[in-house]
Structure 1
Amino acid sequence: MSQATATAKWRTSASVILVASDAGTSDDYKLLMLKRSDATAMVVNQTVFPGGLLDSEADESVAWLQYFEEFGVPQEELRPLVLIRDDRPAILAPQGTGCYDRFFKSSRIWSREIILRLTAVRETFEEVGVLLARSQKQLDFGAVACVQDVPDLEAWQRRVHDKPSEFLTLCRHLKVVPDLWALHEWSAWASPGFLRKGYETVFFMAFVDKQPKLLEEPGEVKETMWLAPLDLLRLNQMGEVWFLPPQVYELLRLIGIKKYLRLLDFAVKRGRLGTTMFLPVVYNCEGTMVYVLPGDDYYVPEPHLVSEVISFPGSADEFIARSKHLHRYAYGLSIKNLELNIPPPNGHLRPLKFQMERQKL
């Protein structure tokens, strides 16, 4: 087993799994996903949850904390967003040296839970025109997100897209604050270390009581869709959309929960349990690439230091035979042979098996 000593670099991002109530259907909720434009997609029909890269100037500015304070949001309502735990992944660890009691008294926001929620809300507005925010009358800090109408939406979307720091200007103009409290911490994924350009992403889950109107940003978004998790997986199997492993894994988690209120209750409670970074360590098993995740016997203590594919002297079946605790998948055009025989980390949902239904002739 060879491991590199150099630490790979990942660009930090945040995404929103937006869940809309759709009562009266077998799956009484739908998820928002978007096809990336041909100019931004890795491959044709790449489909993702809304989200994008952290912008330091826009998202880390202490002006946000000052604005929250001016707006009437007490520090006590921001503190519950921050999980103080020893096992936080680096992407969610506090930044800088400020202690917790100096929450508002620094030049930059040190809490990643706040920064990345701001990133997720801003990017959702930039990509699909949905503004998750609360007015003065809506400061009950509830678990379901508030969606604001934005007059002259197209102009504001373009303005924020071109200069992300204008998102604060928009919120001031509309007299609203980003709805950080309705973004429930869900998961975190990082690209395998052997990739030249890596990303690390926190996924938040947010709930709305109905599907909001969308405005697709033409430079980034080719198409949007509201579909149940199972329908999205079927489209992937038919080749109409293309998912990276995190999207497939998260959809497999969700196909076991059919009800909006049940998923909302689970997401709120689970979000308080923290997150384990899923940074796959990749093994080459006689031509089959196997991606190993936390808890697996072959996961390594410092996965961020692994910048090469590790060669295993045997087949994928032999790789399984030598392991007692499994958390892994093979990957070709999509995830396949997903194995998890241990409790999911952080009290999470277990991904379920999915098989494409045979088409009737």
Structure 2
Amino acid sequence: MAPPDPIPSASVILLRDAPEGLEVFMIRRNAGLRFAAGATVFPGGRVDPEDRALHGWTPPEAPAADLPLRLAAIREAFEESGILLAREPLDGARLAALRAPSLLDFGQRLRAAGVRPDTEALVPFARWITPETVWRRFDATFYLAPAPAGQDAVVDGGEAVEGLWAGPQAILEAAEAGRLSLVFATRMNLTRLAACRTAREALEAAARHQPLVPILPRFADTAAGPVLRIPEGVGYTPTEVAAGLVRLG
């Protein structure tokens, strides 16, 4: 059988500076979900038809080719964490009104509130494609963005059951200790971010690695045993991880 086609999706890695250094925002997925159950991930999800319709917005400059992905990343982050990347300043009352249950879709709610998504705040960081051996595959683009000031995360309680801010290295250490679970692409993105001391440093490093090179991990047999391997020269080390240590879904 041919492998399933990967589903276009997008995630946003929200960044902030803390006294101990760079922190990222992550959510823990509901343990009852079919894919990545209980995993700690960056907010994100598949591109929906409303993202492709662009919600009727025209950016001030020529629209980026990845605009549906950027809109999906912003929408998913808002739905899962309550954090909204917007061009307009949002006080507590305005943000609470946007978070309130509504029959309107994301774009309709923003238009009604006179709020525009800040697609330009997103810096492309990585593009990972799920290996062909996995039953559900994604073509996932990850973006970096500074966390908007004055917004506290409020997870949706459905797909996301917990949110946390922490340094990339601290999250990796928690995973090694078994306190949380990371899928492979998340783990590798955290490893790459662990080398950055500030949000600005992470954003500048990402801007230097353009355009994105799609990363499709593949299994390989080695003298030391089976590994999952990614290409060299795409910003990640190590490029081989023991297959038994890898979670893909």
TM range (shorter): 0.7 to 0.9
The reply on whether 1:67 has 2:20 as its aligned counterpart is no
Counterparts of 1:202 and 1:78, CA distance in 2: 20
Counterparts of 1:60 and 1:171, CA distance in 2: 16
The reply on whether 1:332 has 2:244 as its aligned counterpart is yes
**Cα RMSD for the two superposed structures:** 2.7
Any gaps of 5 or more consecutive residues in structure 2?
A: none
Return the letter of the residue paired with 2:80.
E
**Which residue of structure 1 lines up, in the alignment, with residue 197 of structure 2?**
258
CA 1:274–1:223: 2 relative to 1, 3 Å: same
Q: Is the CA contact 2:3–2:133 (under 8 Å) kept in the aligned structure 1?
A: no
Counterparts of 2:13 and 2:181, CA distance in 1: 17
Superposed, 1:186-201 pairs within 5 Å as 186-201=125-140
Cα displacement string for residues 90-149 of structure 1 (whole angstroms, at most 9, x for unaligned residues):
xxxxxxxxxxxxxxxxxxxxx3x10100100011111111111113xx7xxxxxxx8984
What is the SS of the residue equivalent to 1:217?
A: coil
**Which residue of structure 1 lines up, in the alignment, with residue 16 of structure 2?**
20
- TM-score using structure 2 length: 0.86
Cα displacement string for residues 292-349 of structure 1 (whole angstroms, at most 9, x for unaligned residues):
22249xxxxxxxxxxxxxxxxxxxxxxxxxxxxx9322232448xxxxxxxxxxxxxx
The reply on whether 1:212 has 2:151 as its aligned counterpart is yes
The reply on whether 1:34 has 2:27 as its aligned counterpart is yes
Cα displacement string for residues 24-73 of structure 1 (whole angstroms, at most 9, x for unaligned residues):
x231x2100010012226466310000011112x11115x3x433xxxx4
Cα displacement string for residues 157-216 of structure 1 (whole angstroms, at most 9, x for unaligned residues):
x646xxxxx111111112121110001000011111011221110000101264721221
CA 1:223–1:8: 2 relative to 1, 3 Å: same
The structure 1 residue matched to 2:169, chosen from 230, 234, 253, is 230
Return the letter of the residue paired with 2:217.
P
The structure 2 residue matched to 1:124, chosen from 65, 69, 77, is 77
**Which residue of structure 2 lines up, in the alignment, with residue 307 of structure 1?**
none
Q: Is the CA contact 2:29–2:36 (under 8 Å) kept in the aligned structure 1?
A: no
Return the letter of the residue paired with 1:31.
V
Q: Is the CA contact 1:14–1:51 (under 8 Å) kept in the aligned structure 2?
A: yes
CA 1:334–1:235: 2 relative to 1, 3 Å: farther
The structure 2 residue matched to 1:221, chosen from 160, 163, 183, is 160
The structure 1 residue matched to 2:208, chosen from 247, 266, 270, is 270
Q: Is the CA contact 2:85–2:148 (under 8 Å) kept in the aligned structure 1?
A: no
Counterparts of 1:167 and 1:188, CA distance in 2: 25
Counterparts of 1:249 and 1:31, CA distance in 2: 14
**Which residue of structure 1 lines up, in the alignment, with residue 95 of structure 2?**
150
What is the SS of the residue equivalent to 2:135?
A: coil
Q: Is the CA contact 2:31–2:37 (under 8 Å) kept in the aligned structure 1?
A: yes
Q: Is the CA contact 1:244–1:334 (under 8 Å) kept in the aligned structure 2?
A: yes
Q: Is the CA contact 1:130–1:147 (under 8 Å) kept in the aligned structure 2?
A: no
1:286 CA drift (Å)? 7.4
**Which residue of structure 2 lines up, in the alignment, with residue 243 of structure 1?**
182
**Which residue of structure 2 lines up, in the alignment, with residue 78 of structure 1?**
62
Return the letter of the residue paired with 1:78.
A
The structure 2 residue matched to 1:280, chosen from 214, 217, 233, is 217
CA 1:188–1:279: 2 relative to 1, 3 Å: same
Larger Rg: 1
- TM-score using structure 1 length: 0.61
**Which residue of structure 2 lines up, in the alignment, with residue 89 of structure 1?**
none
Q: Is the CA contact 2:39–2:180 (under 8 Å) kept in the aligned structure 1?
A: yes
The structure 2 residue matched to 1:133, chosen from 77, 86, 95, is 86
The reply on whether 1:170 has 2:123 as its aligned counterpart is no
**Which residue of structure 2 lines up, in the alignment, with residue 142 of structure 1?**
none
- Tell me how many residue pairs correspond in the alignment: 242
Counterparts of 1:31 and 1:147, CA distance in 2: 22
Return the letter of the residue paired with 2:75.
R
Amino-acid identity (%): 27
Q: Is the CA contact 1:129–1:153 (under 8 Å) kept in the aligned structure 2?
A: no
